[in-house]
Structure 1
Amino acid sequence: MNYRKQVITLIIVSSLVRMIVAAATELSNDEVYYWTYAQYLQWNYFDHPPMIGLLIRLFTGNLLFEQEFFIRLGSIACAAINTWQMYRLVRQLKDAYTGWIAACLFTASVYAGILAGVMILPDAPQMVFWLWSLILLVQIFKSTGSERNRNRRLLLLGAAAGLCIMSKVHGVFIWGGAMLYILLFARTLLRNPFLYLALLITGIMIAPIIWWNLNNEFITLNYHGDRVGFFGKIQWDTFFRQIIGEILYNNPVNMVFIVAGLIAIRSTKLLNEYGWQRILLMVSLPLMVVVWLMSLFKDTLPHWTGPAYTTLIPLAAAYITRRLPAGSTAGYIPRAIKAALALPALLLVLLIAGIHWLPVSMGSKDDQHLGAGDLLLDMSGWKQFGQDFNRLYQQDIAAGTMKRDAFMMADYWFPAAHLDYYVARPAGINFIAAGSFSSIHHYAWLNIYRPAPEPGQDAYYVAVSNYFDPLPSSIIASFRQAEGPVVINQRRQGKVVRHFFIYRLKHYQGGIPRNGVLE
């Protein structure tokens, strides 16, 4: 059986499915926000390193094609590369059939196959360089091989880890795991100068992140420092939410075999070398433990540990193939693998069906906060609202209700990015976000490149019911008059599921903090 062809077929089929989903759904809060990164490239951004902005620029043809499909195309390409890398990794660790099973498990992971495979998130490029780093680590610590090849791969590891960190800071756990393995099991490598050259390469590659933070009062580090912590009152609810989220994000079927594989390696060699099992553990477990500890004190997100669980997929695949009856491997796909693959497929079907045809709101029924908690609203209704708003805007201009140079504004990064992409951009209206750094995030830098509001200009402020906040008094004070709101409803199968509140603000008098202020 040619498992290489099997994996290529899997990549083609899964990529086609991802393309359909990418074209059939609107951008989520995070995705449309990362689109703003690509507008003006920086060495670092308020929330993340620069790789996601570069990826969007590349696959949109330098922003020539800004439709959802092209914005997400980079993630789809990364998923294809990652599936192949998983196969290649496990083929080295075990054999080609186990590599094929691992590629299936990777595709079945909601994190790897959808969040980092369809949605345009920093995790997409991160996983390309994370898996490349794992492949290099396996080759570096192989029991056989020339010193020259090892040194060359050490230098490549320095580049791969650097690119991984430039995608998302989780990449530091690549070097953390490597150094932990070296200190425990391969201390002779500490005498190799190429190890330090590799570390230097990584340091040089991530220097722009440090330089940017030096010039921006370490705002990224301070922001993330406020989000995480290891001290305070223990909150078991946040911990258990993290664990349950990890099970769902990484596919419950995958998780069963990952846990089974972890238990099995205590007494069994699942991979060809014991050292390779240790490498996987050294890279994955520290990230998991750190996030679990943080979740005891603050809210964390399940996808933060996604790279760690992806690192353990080889153990799950090896456990599965070890338990198969002799002679059953040629072209055989275990039922558990079929079940694992069915779960994300079902999830995608339900997502598209819910977005387009679910006749009720899954969130709050309170009129002012209608739809709060309905995650489907993050990926639907924006394009239609953009068209509805443009009609209102043209009517206002024709009637003289608003001035032609009116701009649009919001005071929080979401729904600011949705309004920017789906409403202001198609209508040709200038958009700014006003508020503190923690409220408007990257808009504090993006606003600099956009025309500053001039005294006497009119503006539109838009609030949405599922994230409703009243029109801030600080914004009202910056205008001579505030009118509204005009309410535009979003309907799904004829049922109203969200309100858009449009306020007309007349005659700007100055005072909007568009470049960010400290709270």
Structure 2
Amino acid sequence: MLQDIRDSIRQHPKTWFYTSWLLLNLLQSYGTELLDDEAYYWVFSRYPDWGYFDHPPMIAILIRAGYALFPNELGVRLFMALMNTATLFLIHQMLLKNQQKLFYTIAFSMGVLQIGGILAVPDIPLTFFTALFFWQYRRFLAVASLVNALLLGLIMALMLYSKYHGVLIIFFTFLSNPKLFLQWKAWVAAVVGALLFSPHLWWQYTHDFPSVMYHLKERNAPEYSFAFSLDYLTGQILLAGPLIGWLLLYAAGQFRSKDLFARALQFSLWGIYGFFLVSTLKGRVEANWTVPALVPLLIISHAWLTDSAKHARWVYKLMPPALALVILVRLYMITDIEPLTSVFKDEMHGNPSWATTIKEKAGGLPVVFLNSYQRPSKYWFYTGDTSFGLNTTRYRRNNYNFWPIEKEWQGKTAYTVDRLLERLPDATPIETRKGLTYGKAIPTFQSNSWLRFQAISDDLSITDGKLSPFNFTVFPTSSADSLLTGTRPLEVVLDVFGKDSMIARLPLRFTNKEGNWYGSSNDSLSLAPGFYRAKIGVGTVLPLLYSQNSASVKLRVR
């Protein structure tokens, strides 16, 4: 029997590789609890739209389709497991050298392709459509037909609908082949891609470009730290490995080719790495942002290693320990040995127990969490009860500022949960699997985080202790008059931050002159000259807690 299996593997290695890869991922998908971001994206799928605060809609579409088939963790991750397997298959078809054994060995050695390949995050569809883009681009180079151009444009749009980073693949591919700028069919592809992506751009426009504001401004650190760049470089080596990452990057650096397809791979690989390295000058860069670069990395490193037997030996030597490490992580993810998992306090264990404990304390009331998009999403998924996340100025905006949940709960009794409630005398301690928190029933819940303020200028200023009046827009405009200058106007403040800590708060007053809104303050503020960050917040039913109602803006003190 075993001999028959060995013979079958030798005769049909591709079938065995992809079948076992997919089945293992499906099993892992079913048996592993959701990570925080996965639960958040599952909530995305409850509200179909052309866009979301954090990302385009592809991840929501895929989760919604999978969850309709299997209403559990497998459904959330179903299309991720399928796309991960299909990505490898496409890469396999694009290999520049015919060495299957080496390809399988590299794939087994790359932990992110196995463990990360099941996660319901935008990186998975982006990586799949990146592979599909390069596959179609090679076909376009061979035959520049109108059909191939249209298909290329469609795939460009699908990349962008997965994650904005897809634009880097498109840009560096065009940059690798300047003749494309003179080829009308290449422009057809670009125009088709832009037209298909335009519904999302319209969504951004009608929502005051929240994703642009967040990714280009709100995420920026107050000042540069060398740790940003060092962590990024270390993360890329581990992401490509964990044990052979250094070797794959070295091999890709040694690869040389004048072939247009290979040039597109090289430009995209080093262009992405370089772009995000420069981005560390503005703040922390997550290691996974470069995941689509793994497609060209795998192809060109495989090609060079095929011709370098000396270096290829290291791939075979390092594969067993790398695979053993991956297996241990897989087992940890799918099992729950409480003394072990409690030590790490990770995101993938104890979620049903945590959610059930809070639900029992809430006694059937709707639950509001503070300063988190993760906890309300996890609670919602594992209890089936709609939950809401109220973001204060000490946190950041997310899609809970946009969904209709908040408006639907106004004036109702709600149960609020957070460690911040510890200071309230009537808050109840709640001991959960994930640690101690506090809860409090709010008889008449009130908040207005759905209001959005946007300063016209990127800079606000304080001169001689007084805030200079600033022009701003407010959305939705239909609510502005009654909420800001009505008989009972909202309490609105400007919270000032130095690095990551709030250091001052100014109450704001508003005037409307000929249809233009202006904010100012009667109070004075004494701060050392320099630059700070500021956010506009609106009072809530909870004392001294203000929802975050604006992007972070620069504040200059003179």
Q: Is the 8 A contact 2:109 2:242 kept in 1?
A: no
Q: How does 1:61-460 map to 2 (within 5 A)?
A: 61=68, 65-90=70-95, 93-95=96-98, 97-98=99-100, 101-115=102-116, 117-141=117-141, 145-148=142-145, 151-183=146-178, 187=179, 189-226=180-217, 233-266=223-256, 274-324=259-309, 334-352=316-334, 355-359=336-340, 361-362=342-343, 374-376=344-346, 378-393=347-362, 396=363, 406-411=365-370, 412-423=372-383, 425=384, 428=385, 430-435=386-391, 439-446=396-403, 448=404, 452-455=408-411, 457-460=412-415
Distance 1:309 1:459, change over 3 A: same
Distance 1:472 1:133, change over 3 A: farther
Distance 1:10 1:358, change over 3 A: farther
The structure that is helix-richer by fraction is: 1
Alignment partners' CA distance in 2, 1:416 and 1:509? 16
Distance 1:182 1:360, change over 3 A: closer
Q: Secondary structure at the match of 2:337?
A: helix
Alignment partners' CA distance in 2, 1:177 and 1:445? 34
Q: Is the 8 A contact 1:485 1:503 kept in 2?
A: yes
Q: Secondary structure at the match of 1:486?
A: strand
Distance 1:505 1:233, change over 3 A: closer
**1:494 matched to which residue of 2?**
none
Alignment partners' CA distance in 1, 2:376 and 2:266? 41
> Percent identical across equivalent pairs?
19
**2:21 matched to which residue of 1?**
14
Q: Secondary structure at the match of 1:317?
A: helix
Alignment partners' CA distance in 1, 2:307 and 2:200? 44
Q: Is the 8 A contact 1:484 1:503 kept in 2?
A: yes
**2:515 matched to which residue of 1?**
none
Q: Is the 8 A contact 1:7 1:87 kept in 2?
A: no
Alignment partners' CA distance in 1, 2:340 and 2:246? 35
Task: Give CA deviations for 1:469-517 in whole Å, capped at 9, x if unaligned.
Answer: 41299xx8xxxxx732232231xxxxxxx32424132421634535662
Q: Is the 8 A contact 1:413 1:440 kept in 2?
A: no
Q: Is the 8 A contact 1:107 1:341 kept in 2?
A: yes
The structure that is strand-richer by fraction is: 2
Alignment partners' CA distance in 1, 2:58 and 2:447? 34
Alignment partners' CA distance in 2, 1:47 and 1:290? 20
Distance 1:56 1:436, change over 3 A: same
**1:488 matched to which residue of 2?**
431
Alignment partners' CA distance in 2, 1:139 and 1:489? 55
Q: Is the 8 A contact 2:177 2:264 kept in 1?
A: no
Q: Secondary structure at the match of 1:121?
A: coil
Alignment partners' CA distance in 1, 2:334 and 2:339? 10
Number of residue-to-residue matches in the alignment: 444
Q: Is the 8 A contact 1:257 1:320 kept in 2?
A: no
**2:536 matched to which residue of 1?**
none
Q: Secondary structure at the match of 1:59?
A: helix
TM-score by length of 2: 0.72
TM-score by length of 1: 0.77
Q: Is the 8 A contact 2:28 2:334 kept in 1?
A: yes
Alignment partners' CA distance in 1, 2:63 and 2:239? 24
What is the deviation of 1:125? 1.0
Q: Is the 8 A contact 2:351 2:382 kept in 1?
A: yes
**2:550 matched to which residue of 1?**
518
Alignment partners' CA distance in 1, 2:397 and 2:436? 20
State the superposition RMSD in angstroms: 3.0
Counterpart AA for 2:59: I
**2:531 matched to which residue of 1?**
none
Distance 1:212 1:106, change over 3 A: farther
Q: Secondary structure at the match of 1:60?
A: helix
What is the deviation of 1:287? 1.1
Alignment partners' CA distance in 1, 2:186 and 2:345? 46
What is the deviation of 1:339? 4.4
What is the deviation of 1:76? 0.6
**1:368 matched to which residue of 2?**
none
Structure 1 unaligned spans of 5+: 363-373, 397-403, 464-468, 477-481, 491-497
Higher relative contact order (CA 8 A, sep 6+): 1
What is the deviation of 1:106? 3.6
Alignment partners' CA distance in 1, 2:399 and 2:263? 40
Q: Secondary structure at the match of 1:433?
A: strand
Q: Is the 8 A contact 1:33 1:413 kept in 2?
A: yes
Q: Is the 8 A contact 1:105 1:341 kept in 2?
A: no
Counterpart AA for 2:97: K
Give the alignment partner of residue 35 of structure 2, picking from 7, 14, 28: 28
Distance 1:515 1:338, change over 3 A: farther
Counterpart AA for 2:67: T
What is the deviation of 1:451? 6.6
Q: Secondary structure at the match of 1:87?
A: helix
Alignment partners' CA distance in 1, 2:125 and 2:10? 25
What is the deviation of 1:120? 0.4
